[in-house]
Amino acid sequence: MAKRPIVIYGDPVLRKVSQPVVEIDQEIKDLVADMIATLKNARGLGLSAVQIGELKRLFIVDLSAVDITEHLRVFINPEIMETSGEVELEEGCLSFPGLYLKIVRPSNVKVIATDINGNRFEMEAQSLVARAILHEYDHLEGTLFIDHLSPLARSMIKGRLRKLAKVS
């Protein structure tokens, strides 16, 4: 397990659509191990492969730091089946260090994915778990959490985004 650098806003890879994982081989298992080490080091709640420069349809979510009933989950080739509800909450992203914004997202999600052992699973999630899944899924589509802001809200953070993009 090796910690990898997190891709910061401004890097064009964050806007690319990730490619499906064809086989869960040792390379994918090593990638997941690296992602876990990177997430733990960054003290984040979720991480997509693209955030460490790998255009693979894969993300991890670990909310155990904020909810003791939660555990780390691996989502390979996830598909969002349905969403419902709507809630506005503060959200951050490891690719946008120090930036936290109120974002409107569905409050419920139903997702189908494959785990690290190659087993397909279906999951329904609410609240913070749903938000984390949808946030990481967006990364696989090349969508960033700032894309959910209104044009006015986005214009208000333009300077901060410019500064982030220059750092990367």
Q: What mean pLDDT comes out for the span 129-133?
A: 96
Q: Which of 147, 56, 132, 150 is nearest to 94 (CA)?
A: 132
Q: Model confidence at 36, in pLDDT bands (50, 70, 90)? A: very high
Is residue 167's pLDDT more than 90?
no
Q: How many CB atoms lie within 10 A of CB 23?
A: 8
Place of tokens 């990898």: 4
| Mean pLDDT score of the chain | 94
Residue of 79, 82, 122, 136 with catalytic role: 136
**Straight-line distance from the first to the last Cα atom of the chain, in angstroms, rounded to the nearest whole number:** 24
Percent of the chain with pLDDT over 70: 98
Is residue 24's pLDDT more than 80?
yes
Which residues on adjacent β-strands are paired with residue 56? 19
Residue 115: partners with Cβ closer than 8 Å, 6 or more residues away: 73, 74, 75, 76, 121
Q: Which residue has the higher pLDDT, 67 or 162?
A: 162
pLDDT at 108: 98
Question: Could you confirm whether 136 is annotated as catalytic?
Answer: yes
List strand residue ranges (DSSP E) for the chain, in order. Answer: 46-48, 58-61, 73-84, 87-92, 100-105, 108-114, 120-126
* Helix runs in the chain, H state only: 26-42, 127-140, 151-156, 158-167
Query: Quick check: 104 and 86 in contact, CB under 8 A?
Result: yes
How many Cα atoms occupy the beta-carbon half-sphere of 146 within 13 Å? 23
Domains of the chain by start residue, with CATH: 12-167 (3.90.45.10)
Is residue 168's pLDDT more than 60?
no
Q: What mean pLDDT comes out for the span 13-17?
A: 97
Q: What is the pLDDT of residues 52-95, one digit of tens each?
A: 999 999 999 998 877 788 889 999 999 999 999 999 999 999 99
Kindly state the tokens that stand for 74: 């691996």
pLDDT at 55: 98
Query: Quick check: 73 and 113 in contact, CB under 8 A?
Result: no
Query: Quick check: 107 and 133 in contact, CB under 8 A?
Result: no
